[in-house]
C-alpha cells in the first residue's frame, strides 16, 4: 500500500502538479468542444485572439481580471485562516450598494478622484459588513461558515432586489437598478490614459481599479507572510488548538479575516460599477464571486498565483465572449464549464496525479523494498 | 382568505415541496454517510436536462426519468471519486459539480436545440401527468375531507407520490435496517465501521449514489412533470434550500418532510403576494423577505438560537486509516 | 494431541513498510493456544502495526499468518473476525451516539433487518455477562458510559463475534490501577476458558503481572520471545531499548525557595457543565518539581489548560510571582507568557506545534508578538530564522535546518523544538505535560536532564505525566489527581501500590473506616 501523499520536490508540488491539473481541466474542456462538433484548436485560436489580439481586447481581459483578482484574493485570504468563504458573490453584491450610495450622492458635485476613494472605502465596508454576520456566527456560535455564506448569497440577492426596487430605482423605471451615474464617479479607463499619449486603444472598460487590485494583492502577500496577524491567521488555519495554546484568539482571527475577505470581495463592485456599467443593476456581479473560488484554488491561495489565475480567467471571459460570436455553438457557458473543471482538478482532485509524479520523482531507495 | 386561495396555496405548496424534499432525502443519505454534498443543486439541474432531452427524443417520460437517474448517479460517482477515493475537499467538489452542471446544460442545450438552452417543448404523453386517485371525483363534494382528498391528495403526478412515500421508507431504512445502521455509523465514526470489517468506501459510495438517484428524480420532476421542458438554471437554488431543510430537519427523514413543507409553503405564498399590500397599511408585502426566509431561518437555526443542529460527526472528512 | 498443540497464532516473516519507514522487519512469532502473550516495545517499535496486520487493518508486504496451524489470508478486518480474531483498539472503535447494543451488532447484524440480530445480541450479552462478569446495560448510549465500560463494550464486541484470539492494544492507558486489575482478572478468566490473549503494552508491570509469555519488539524487529516467569523487568527494558537503561534519573535533592505559583480553589467545568477540575489548591516553589500523577482523563489536561490561560476556570485564584490572577475572567495564554509562565503542552501535535509550518515558525509560536521578531505589526522572517538557529544549536535539534517542515522531524526532535521554545526565554515557571510521550529513549534522557537542570537553576516546574515512573523519578513532591480533585500528596519514594490506590480515588484512611 503506497501512501497517496508521498513527498515530492517543491517544484513538482507547487509547479508541475498544479499546472498539470489545470491542463487536464482544459483538455477535458477541449473534449467538450469536440463533442458539440467544433474544433478545439480553432476555438483556442479564436479565444486567444479574442483575449489578446488587440489592445482593446487585452483591456477587456484586464477588466475581467481586475474583478477576479479581488474575488480570488477574498477566497484566498480566508483559506489561509482555514475558512472557506463561498459568500464572495453576495459580499460583492452588497459591496456594490456601498459604491452606489457614495456615487449617487457625489457624482454630480465632485470629480471622480474624490468619489472613487470614498466609493472604494464604502465597497470594502459594505462587503465586510456582509461577511461579518457569518464570521460572527462561526466564531461565536460555531455555525458552519460554508453553509452560512451560501445562505447569505441568497439573502443578499433578495436584499439587493428589495433595496434597488424600493430605494434606488428612479420613478418610472422598470427593472431594479439605479439611475445612470454621472462623470463625477467615472474611474478613468486605461484606454483614456493611452489616449492621452496619443495611442488609440478602443473603449474597453479596463480602468485604474486594476492597479488597486495589484496593490491589494501585494498587501495580502504582506499581510499573510510579513505580519504578526498573518502568522496568527496561518496558525489558526492549520491548527486551531495550537492557536489557542499560543494565545491567538480564534474569534478575532475568524472575524478579522472574514472582514478582510468580505472587503476584498466588495471591491470588485468598484471595478464594475464605476469602471464600466456606471449604475448598479440587477445581478451585476454575474458570478465573479464564484470565479474567485476557482482563481484562489488555481493560484494556490498565493497572491501571485491569484493574479495569474485571474488573468487567465479574464482572458477566458473576454476570449470566450469573442468565441461565442465567432462560433455560436460554443456559448459563453463554456467559461462556466472550464471554471468548474479548474475547480475540480485544481481543487477537489488536486492529488489525482500525485502517485504518478511520486513514481517519477521519488528516490529509488523507497521503492527497493517491494 | 377564502378557501379557494387556501387550497391553491396548499396545492402549490405540495408541488413546490416535492423537488426540495427529494433533494433533501438524497442529501440525507449522503450526509449520513459522512459525505457533504453541496453539488446536489448541480445534480438536479443536469438530471433535469437529461430528462428533458431524453423525453423529447423518445417521447417517453419513463425513459426521461431513467436518463435523469443515470445522470444523477454519474455525477455522484464523480463526487464520490473526488471526495472518497481521492479524499479531496467535499465542498470544493460540490462547487465544481454545480458549475459544471450549470455550464454544460446551457452549453449543450444551446448547441443542440438552438432555443436559448431550452429543450424542446414536450407533448403531454412525454410528461408525467396528474393521476386521479380512485374515488376522487366521487367524494369531491363532501365538505372539507372530500375536498382535501380531491384537491390536495389526488391529482398529482407519480413523482409526487414517490417523494412522499420515500419519507417513511427512508425512515425505515435508516433506523430499522442493517444498511441504515451502517450508514449512520460510517457518518459518525468510520474507523468503527472499518474495524468491524465493513468497507467504509463502499458504504459511502452507496450513500452518495442514493443521493444521485434522488437528485435524478428531483430533476425529472422539474423538467418533465412540473414543466414541459428543461430551461437553463431551472433548479434555481432549490438544491441549496434542500440542504438548508436537511439542517433544519437535523438529518431526520420525518423532520425533512416538515422542513420541506415549510419551505415549500413559503415559496407558495410568495407568488400570490407579489405586489400585494399588507391589509390596512399601504405597505408592499416584502416578497423578497419571504423568498429569503428559508435561508434566514436556516442561519438562525445554525446560530443555535432555536435548538441545535448537530451534523454527523465525521461529515466532510475523508477517511484515512490511522497509522 | 497434535491439533491441540497447534499454536493459536503463528506469524512467519511478516514485513511491512510505509514509504520510507520500515515498520515491521521479518517478524516471526508463535502464540500458543490458551495463553496470555504480551508484546512489549517502545513507542514506534512496530507493535501496533504488527497487530493491525494480524487484524487485517493493513496487509503485510510479505509473510504468512497461520491460525490454529493453518495458513490464512487476512485481507480485511472481516477476514480476521471470521478466523476468530478480535481486537480491542487503543482508541475505542465505538460510535458514541449509538447504544451499546447498536455497537455490538454493527457489522454482525445477522440479516438485512436489525430487529432479529439485536434480539440475539441481547441474549448473547446476557450470557457473557453471566460467564465473565462483563455486565453492561445494552440500551445505554456509549457517550454516557465511563471509559472502563466503553472498553468492556469493545471486549464484548469481539466476544459476540466469536473471537478465540483477542488482541488488546494498550488497554490500560485509560484505566485506574484498580480497573486495570479488574481487566486482568477478566483476561485470566478468558484464558481459563481456552481463549488466547495478545496484550500489547509498554508497561513492564503489566507484562509481569498477567502474561505467560512475552515478545519484545525494537525498531520494527522482534528481538526476543521469553517465558515471563524466566525474565525480569530489567532484562525486558534492556531488550526493548537495546542497551542498559537507567530506570532512575540522576538528581540531587531539591532546594525549594519562595512559592512561585499558588493555586486556590480552582474549578474548571467542561462544555456540559461537568467539573473537570474540582476545587483544587496547591503551590509550587522555586527550585522544585511538583508532579501530578493520575490516570489520563482525571482533570490533568484541564488543570494545565486553566493554569496556562487556555481554558477559563469557573472559580478560584491563581497567584504567580505574587501577582493575583483571576482565571475566570483573565484567562489569556499570551498574558500568562508575559508573566513568565512557559508551557510545554501535553500533545505537541495538536497543541504545541503547527506541523506544516517550517521549524523556525514553530520556534516562535506563542511568542510571535514579541518585538524581537519585528516592530509593530511586522514579522521579520530573517529575525525569526536567526532565533531558530540559536535554539537548534543549543538543544541539538536534528536535522539542523530551520526551514524544514516541522512534520519531517522525529518525535523526539519535535519535542525538543517545543522545549527549546519554552525553556529558552528564561521563564519563572514551567508547566510540562507528558514531556516524553512518543519520544525515543535517547531523547527522554536528554529531556529529563534538561528539566532537572532547570530545577537546579531555581525554576519552579509543574509536571503532569500519566507515566507514574516518570513522576516518581523526576518530581520532588507528588500530587495525585482523581476525578478532578487532588486526593493526596505523597513523596516520590512512596510505594507504587499506595500511589496506585490514590490514583483510583481510594484513600486508605477512608477505606479503613
Chains in contact with B, counting 3 or more C-beta pairs less than 8 Å apart as contact: A, C
Pairing of strands C9-18, C21-31: antiparallel
Burial class (CB in 10 A: 0-12, 13-18, 19+), B303: buried
Are A66 and A267 in contact by the 8 Å Cβ rule? The answer is no
Query: Comparing A50-64, B201-215, C45-59, C303-317, which segment has the lowest mean pLDDT?
Result: C45-59
**A369 pLDDT above the threshold of 60:** no
CA distance A212 to B59: 56
Q: Do B191 and C91 touch (CB under 8 A)?
A: yes
Q: A60 or C130: whose pLDDT is higher?
A: A60
The SS3 call for residue B52 is helix
- Residue A237: pLDDT band with limits 50, 70, 90: very high
Are C174 and C151 in contact by the 8 Å Cβ rule? The answer is yes
Residues of B in contact with A134 (CB under 8 A): 299
Give the pLDDT of residue A367: 40
DSSP string, A227-289: BHHHHHHHHHHH-HHHHHHTT--HHHHHHHHHHHHHHHHHHHHHHHIIIII-S-BTTTTTTHH
pTM (two decimals):
0.89
- Residue C512: pLDDT band with limits 50, 70, 90: very low
Q: Of the candidates B44, B23, B90, which has an alpha carbon nearest to the alpha carbon of residue B247?
A: B23
Q: Do A226 and C378 touch (CB under 8 A)?
A: yes
Give the pLDDT of residue C213: 96
pLDDT mean across residues, chain C: 89
Which candidate in A30, A79, A130, A349 is best for mutational testing of the B interface (most B CBs within 10 A)?
Answer: A349
pLDDT mean across residues, chain B: 91
CA distance C50 to C199: 12
How many Cβ pairs within 8 Å bridge chains A and C? 83
- Cite the DSSP H helix spans in A82-227: 88-106, 112-136, 145-163, 190-196, 209-226
* Out of B117, B295, B311, closest to residue A154 by CB: B295
- C9-18 sheet: strands from edge to edge: C21-31, C9-18, C62-67, C70-72
Q: Give the helix/strand (H/E) hosting C487.
A: strand C485-490
> Closest chain C residue to A358 measured between Cα atoms?
C19
* Out of C19, C355, C377, closest to residue A229 by CB: C377
How does pLDDT run across C117-162, given as a tens digit for each residue? 999 999 999 999 888 888 899 999 999 988 889 999 999 999 999 9
Angle between helices C147-160 and C114-132 (to 10 degrees): 110
Q: Of the candidates C75, C87, C14, which has an alpha carbon nearest to the alpha carbon of residue C46?
A: C14
- How close does chain C come to A228, measured CA to CA in Å? 5
CB contacts under 8 A, A 196-255 vs B, are: none
C104: contact with B, CB 8 A cutoff: no
How does pLDDT run across B114-154, given as a tens digit for each residue? 998 999 999 999 999 999 888 888 888 888 888 888 888 88
Average pLDDT value for residue range B56-74: 97
Residues of C in contact with B195 (CB under 8 A): 55, 57, 77, 87, 89, 93
The reply to whether omega before B90 is within 30° of 0 (cis) is no
Query: Comparing A48-52, B96-100, C387-391, C433-437, which segment has the lowest mean pLDDT?
Result: C433-437
A33: contact with B, CB 8 A cutoff: no
Average pLDDT value for residue range B42-52: 98
How does pLDDT run across C47-91, given as a tens digit for each residue? 888 998 999 988 899 999 999 999 999 988 889 999 999 999 888
**B55 pLDDT above the threshold of 80:** yes
pLDDT mean across residues, chain A: 91
DSSP state of C374: -
Question: Grid coordinates in use for C192?
Answer: 481459563
Q: What are phi and psi of C251, to 5 degrees?
A: -155, 150
How does pLDDT run across A273-283, given as a tens digit for each residue? 999 999 999 99
Give the pLDDT of residue B288: 87
Who's near C23: CB < 8 A, 6+ residues apart? C16, C17, C46, C49, C220
CA distance A247 to C337: 9
User: ipTM above 0.85?
Assistant: yes
How does pLDDT run across C312-322, given as a tens digit for each residue? 999 999 999 99
- Residue C247: pLDDT band with limits 50, 70, 90: low
Burial C285-296 (b: 16+ CB within 10 A, else e): bbbbbbbbbbbe
Q: Do B88 and A350 touch (CB under 8 A)?
A: yes
- Cite the DSSP H helix spans in C339-394: 359-362, 381-394
Q: Give the CA count within 13 Å in the CB-facing half-sphere of A196.
A: 6
Chains in contact with A, counting 3 or more C-beta pairs less than 8 Å apart as contact: B, C
> Closest chain B residue to C50 measured between Cα atoms?
B323
- How close does chain B come to C87, measured CA to CA in Å? 8
Average pLDDT value for residue range A229-234: 97
Question: Grid coordinates in use for C298?
Answer: 482525571
**A368 pLDDT above the threshold of 70:** no
* Out of A238, A245, A370, closest to residue C351 by CB: A245
Give the pLDDT of residue A365: 42
- How close does chain A come to B161, measured CA to CA in Å? 29
- Residue A172: pLDDT band with limits 50, 70, 90: confident
**C424 pLDDT above the threshold of 60:** yes
Distance of alpha carbon C314 from its chain centroid, rounded?
A: 28
**Which residues is C62 bridged to in the sheet?**
C15
Q: Do B247 and A162 touch (CB under 8 A)?
A: no
* Out of B197, B313, B322, closest to residue C107 by CB: B197
Q: What percentage of residues in chain A have a pLDDT greater than 90?
A: 77
The SS3 call for residue A208 is coil
Which candidate in A246, A361, A368 is best for mutational testing of the C interface (most C CBs within 10 A)?
Answer: A246
Q: Do C111 and B323 touch (CB under 8 A)?
A: no
Give the pLDDT of residue A366: 41
- Residue C509: pLDDT band with limits 50, 70, 90: low
Residues of B in contact with A155 (CB under 8 A): 292, 295-296, 299
CA distance C354 to A367: 30
Distances (CA, A) of C294 to B233, C310, C444, C464: 61, 21, 20, 8
Give the pLDDT of residue C28: 94
Q: B142 or A268: whose pLDDT is higher?
A: A268
* Out of C58, C106, C108, closest to residue B185 by CB: C106
C287: region left, alpha or beta (phi > 0 left; psi from -120 to 50 alpha)? left
Q: C180 or B169: whose pLDDT is higher?
A: B169
- Residue C203: pLDDT band with limits 50, 70, 90: confident
Amino acid at each position: 500500500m503506497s501512501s497517496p501523499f508521498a513527498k515530492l520536490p517543491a517544484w513538482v508540488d507547487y509547479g508541475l502538479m498544479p499546472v498539470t491539473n489545470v491542463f487536464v481541466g482544459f483538455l477535458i474542456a477541449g473534449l467538450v468542444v469536440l463533442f458539440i462538433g467544433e474544433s478545439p484548436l480553432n476555438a483556442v485560436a479564436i479565444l486567444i485572439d479574442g483575449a489578446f489580439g488587440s489592445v482593446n481586447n487585452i483591456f477587456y481581459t484586464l477588466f475581467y481580471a481586475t474583478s477576479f483578482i479581488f474575488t480570488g484574493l477574498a477566497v484566498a485570504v480566508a483559506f489561509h485562516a482555514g475558512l472557506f468563504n463561498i459568500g464572495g458573490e453576495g459580499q460583492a453584491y452588497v459591496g456594490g450598494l456601498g459604491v452606489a450610495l457614495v456615487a449617487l450622492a457625489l457624482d454630480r458635485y465632485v470629480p471622480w478622484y474624490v468619489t472613487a476613494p470614498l466609493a472604494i472605502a464604502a465597497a470594502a465596508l459594505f462587503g465586510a459588513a456582509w461577511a461579518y454576520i457569518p464570521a460572527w456566527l462561526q466564531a461565536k456560535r460555531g455555525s458552519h461558515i460554508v453553509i452560512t455564506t451560501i445562505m447569505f448569497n441568497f439573502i443578499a440577492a433578495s436584499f439587493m432586489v428589495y433595496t434597488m426596487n424600493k430605494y434606488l430605482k428612479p420613478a418610472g423605471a422598470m427593472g431594479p437598478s439605479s439611475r445612470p451615474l454621472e462623470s463625477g464617479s467615472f474611474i478613468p479607463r486605461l484606454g483614456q490614459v493611452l489616449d492621452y499619449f496619443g495611442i488609440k486603444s478602443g473603449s474597453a472598460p479596463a480602468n485604474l481599479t486594476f492597479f488597486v487590485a495589484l496593490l491589494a494583492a501585494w498587501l495580502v502577500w504582506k499581510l499573510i507572510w510579513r505580519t504578526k496577524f498573518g502568522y496568527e491567521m496561518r496558525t489558526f488555519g492549520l491548527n486551531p488548538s495550537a492557536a489557542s495554546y499560543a494565545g491567538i484568539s480564534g474569534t478575532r482571527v475568524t472575524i478579522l479575516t472574514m472582514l478582510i475577505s468580505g472587503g476584498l470581495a466588495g471591491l470588485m463592485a468598484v471595478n464594475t460599477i464605476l469602471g464600466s456599467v456606471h449604475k448598479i443593476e440587477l445581478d451585476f456581479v454575474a458570478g465573479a464571486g464564484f470565479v474567485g473560488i476557482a482563481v484562489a484554488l488555481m493560484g494556490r491561495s498565493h497572491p501571485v498565483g491569484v493574479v495569474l489565475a485571474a488573468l487567465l480567467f479574464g482572458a477566458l471571459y473576454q476570449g470566450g465572449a469573442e468565441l461565442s460570436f465567432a462560433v455560436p455553438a460554443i456559448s459563453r457557458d463554456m467559461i462556466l464549464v472550464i471554471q468548474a473543471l479548474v475547480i475540480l482538478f485544481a481543487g477537489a482532485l488536486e492529488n489525482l496525479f500525485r502517485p504518478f509524479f511520486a513514481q517519477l520523482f521519488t528516490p529509488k531507495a523507497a521503492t527497493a523494498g517491494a | 382568505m377564502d378557501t379557494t386561495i387556501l387550497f391553491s396555496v396548499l396545492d402549490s405548496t405540495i408541488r413546490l415541496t416535492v423537488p426540495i424534499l427529494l433533494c433533501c432525502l438524497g442529501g440525507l443519505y449522503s450526509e449520513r454517510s459522512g459525505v457533504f454534498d453541496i453539488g446536489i443543486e448541480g445534480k438536479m439541474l443536469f438530471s433535469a436536462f437529461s430528462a428533458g432531452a431524453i423525453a423529447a427524443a423518445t417521447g417517453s417520460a419513463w425513459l426521461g426519468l431513467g436518463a435523469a437517474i443515470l445522470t444523477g448517479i454519474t455525477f455522484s460517482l464523480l463526487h464520490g471519486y473526488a471526495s472518497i477515493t481521492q479524499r479531496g475537499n467535499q465542498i470544493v467538489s460540490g462547487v465544481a459539480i454545480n458549475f459544471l452542471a450549470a455550464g454544460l446544460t446551457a452549453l449543450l442545450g444551446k448547441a443542440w436545440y438552438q432555443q436559448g438552452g431550452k429543450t424542446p417543448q414536450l407533448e403531454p404523453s412525454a410528461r408525467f401527468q396528474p393521476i386521479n386517485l380512485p374515488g376522487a371525483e366521487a367524494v369531491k363534494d363532501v365538505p372539507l375531507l372530500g375536498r382535501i382528498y380531491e384537491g390536495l391528495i389526488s391529482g398529482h403526478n407519480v413523482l409526487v407520490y414517490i417523494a412522499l412515500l420515500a419519507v417513511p421508507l427512508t425512515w425505515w431504512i435508516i433506523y430499522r435496517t442493517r444498511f441504515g445502521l451502517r450508514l449512520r455509523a460510517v457518518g459518525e465514526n468510520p474507523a468503527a465501521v472499518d474495524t468491524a470489517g465493513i468497507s467504509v468506501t463502499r458504504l459511502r459510495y452507496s450513500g452518495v449514489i442514493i443521493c444521485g438517484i434522488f437528485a435524478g428524480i428531483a430533476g425529472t420532476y422539474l423538467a418533465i412533470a412540473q414543466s414541459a421542458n428543461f430551461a437553463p438554471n431551472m433548479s434555481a437554488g432549490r438544491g441549496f434550500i434542500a440542504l438548508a431543510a436537511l439542517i433544519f430537519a437535523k438529518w431526520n427523514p420525518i423532520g425533512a418532510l416538515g422542513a420541506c413543507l415549510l419551505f415549500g409553503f413559503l415559496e407558495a405564498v410568495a407568488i400570490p403576494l407579489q405586489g400585494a399590500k399588507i391589509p390596512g397599511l399601504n405597505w408592499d408585502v416584502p416578497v423578497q423577505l419571504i423568498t429569503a426566509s428559508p435561508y434566514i431561518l436556516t442561519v438562525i437555526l445554525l446560530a443555535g438560537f432555536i435548538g441545535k443542529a448537530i451534523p454527523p460527526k465525521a461529515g466532510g472528512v475523508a477517511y484515512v486509516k490511522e497509522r | 494431541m497434535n491439533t491441540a498443540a497447534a499454536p493459536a497464532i503463528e506469524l512467519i516473516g511478516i514485513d511491512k513498510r510505509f514509504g520510507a519507514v520500515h515498520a515491521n522487519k521479518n517478524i516471526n512469532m508463535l502464540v500458543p493456544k490458551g495463553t496470555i502473550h504480551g508484546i512489549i516495545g517502545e513507542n514506534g517499535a512496530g507493535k501496533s502495526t504488527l497487530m493491525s496486520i494480524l487484524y487485517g487493518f493493513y496487509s503485510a508486504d510479505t509473510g504468512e499468518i497461520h491460525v490454529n496451524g493453518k495458513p490464512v489470508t487476512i485481507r480485511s478486518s472481516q477476514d480476521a473476525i471470521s478466523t476468530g480474531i478480535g481486537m480491542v483498539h487503543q482508541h475505542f472503535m465505538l460510535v458514541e451516539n449509538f447504544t451499546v447494543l447498536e455497537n455490538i451488532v454493527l457489522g454482525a447484524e445477522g440479516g438485512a433487518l436489525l430487529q432479529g440480530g439485536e434480539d440475539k445480541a441481547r441474549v448473547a450479552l446476557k450470557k457473557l455477562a453471566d460467564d465473565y462478569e462483563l455486565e453492561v446495560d445494552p440500551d445505554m448510549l456509549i457517550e454516557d458510559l465511563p471509559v472502563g465500560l466503553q472498553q468492556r463494550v469493545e471486549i464484548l464486541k469481539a466476544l459476540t463475534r466469536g473471537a478465540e484470539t483477542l488482541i488488546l492494544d494498550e488497554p490500560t492507558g485509560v484505566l485506574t490501577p484498580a480497573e486495570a486489575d479488574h481487566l486482568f482478572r477478566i483476561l485470566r478468566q478468558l484464558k481459563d476458558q481456552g481463549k488466547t490473549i495478545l496484550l500489547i503494552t509498554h508497561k513492564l508491570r503489566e507484562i509481569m503481572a498477567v502474561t505467560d509469555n512475552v515478545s519484545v519488539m525494537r525498531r520494527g524487529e522482534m528481538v526476543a520471545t521469553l517465558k515471563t516467569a524466566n525474565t525480569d523487568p530489567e532484562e525486558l527494558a534492556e531488550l526493548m531499548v537495546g542497551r542498559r537503561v537507567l530506570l532512575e534519573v540522576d538528581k540531587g535533592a531539591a532546594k525549594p525557595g519562595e512559592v512561585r505559583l499558588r493555586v486556590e480553589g480552582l474549578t474548571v467545568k467542561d462544555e456540559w457543565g461537568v467539573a473537570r477540575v474540582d476545587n483544587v489548591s496547591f503551590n509550587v516553589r522555586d527550585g522544585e518539581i511538583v508532579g501530578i500523577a493520575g490516570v489520563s482523563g482525571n482533570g490533568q489536561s484541564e488543570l494545565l489548560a486553566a493554569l496556562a490561560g487556555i481554558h477559563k476556570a469557573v472559580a478560584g485564584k491563581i497567584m504567580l510571582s505574587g501577582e493575583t490572577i483571576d482565571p475566570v475572567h483573565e484567562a489569556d495564554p499570551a498574558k500568562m507568557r508575559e508573566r513568565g509562565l512557559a508551557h510545554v503542552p501535553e500533545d505537541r501535535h495538536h497543541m504545541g506545534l503547527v506541523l506544516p509550518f517550517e521549524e523556525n515558525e514553530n520556534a516562535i509560536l506563542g511568542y510571535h508578538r514579541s518585538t524581537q521578531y519585528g516592530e509593530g505589526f511586522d514579522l521579520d522572517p530573517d529575525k525569526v530564522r536567526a532565533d531558530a538557529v540559536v535554539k537548534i544549536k543549543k538543544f541539538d535539534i536534528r536535522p539542523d535546518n530551520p526551514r524544514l517542515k516541522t512534520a519531517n522531524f522525529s518525535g523526539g526532535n519535535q519535542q525538543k523544538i517545543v522545549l527549546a521554545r519554552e525553556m529558552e526565554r528564561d521563564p519563572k515557571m514551567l508547566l510540562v505535560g507528558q514531556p516524553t510521550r512518543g519520544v525515543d529513549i535517547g531523547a527522554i534522557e536528554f529531556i529529563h536532564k534538561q528539566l532537572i537542570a532547570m530545577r537546579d537553576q531555581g525554576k519552579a516546574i509543574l509536571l503532569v505525566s500519566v507515566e507514574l515512573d516518570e513522576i516518581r523519578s523526576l518530581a520532588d513532591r507528588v500530587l495525585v489527581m482523581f476525578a478532578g480533585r487532588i486526593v493526596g500528596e505523597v513523596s516520590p519514594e512512596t510505594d507504587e501500590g499506595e500511589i496506585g490506590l490514590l490514583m483510583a480515588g481510594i484513600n486508605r484512611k477512608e477505606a479503613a473506616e
